[in-house]
Amino acid sequence: MAKKKIELVNGMDQSNLEDAVLAAIEKRIGAPVAVFESANYGVVAIERLTGRDADRVDWDEVAAELARTTGVGVTCVANCDWTFDDRPDEEATYVAFACPGVEAAGYAHDEYRDLLSDDYDPATAPSQQDFDNLKKAQRIVKEYLIELDGRRGKLIAAGKSDAAPTDEMVDVEELKKLLVTERDAVKAVLELDFARAIALSAKEPEAPAPGM
């Protein structure tokens, strides 16, 4: 479907936001997508991806990229039925940027449909390398759990252990929940230092300084 250019929303130009969304998606699926009319500045709606195209898009990666390239935070990505005044609804996906009015319009967050694991701010948005490192760390954790399970199986077969998971397996299982922003813990996994990764991941976040 051909791109439909929507330049002004409530008198404000959001073509840079639309262009960034369209470029990020086209880069991943190798084809253009349609952008729909939006009545809210900072909300960009595109045709919903399906099948293999949907599988090629990691929305957390897209949102972080958009925050970095546009200089505007991304607070929500969600699937919805996009309503028009003069034609039937379309299945769509919208990207909500941190722009004035987006929160009041109800697009900034969607507890049940949000496709993002977190908001992304231009100053702190993870790089593509951060996401690549996380994926590699997730593969390493999965392989290590298989190795630990194999060791446990041998011990059980030899009558040296019961069938309960070892403490290490329980701790390593938690590493599957690592976030892309936990860079130090991810790095520790990449270095095969699982004890350090577990300690870093379990560390409570520091309380903000007074007045922050």
State the Rg of the chain over Cα: 22
Domain-wise residue ranges, the chain:
8-97, 128-202
d(Cα 95, Cα 21) in Å, to the nearest integer?
A: 8
Cβ 32 vs Cβ 3: under 8 Å: yes
d(Cα 208, Cα 198) in Å, to the nearest integer?
A: 23
**4 — pLDDT class (breaks 50, 70, 90):** very low
DSSP line for 114-132: B--SS-B-TTTPPPHHHHH
Give residue-wise pLDDT tens across range 114-158.
999 899 999 999 999 999 999 999 999 999 999 988 888 887 777
Give percent of the chain with pLDDT exceeding 90: 62
Q: Where do we find the tokens 């599988």?
A: 55
Q: Is the pLDDT of residue 202 over 90?
A: no
Q: Is the pLDDT of residue 88 over 90?
A: no
Say what the pTM is: 0.80
Give residue-wise pLDDT tens across range 29-87.
999 999 998 888 899 999 999 999 999 999 999 999 999 999 999 999 999 999 888 88
Task: Determine the length of the chain.
Answer: 212
Distance of alpha carbon 47 from the chain centroid:
19
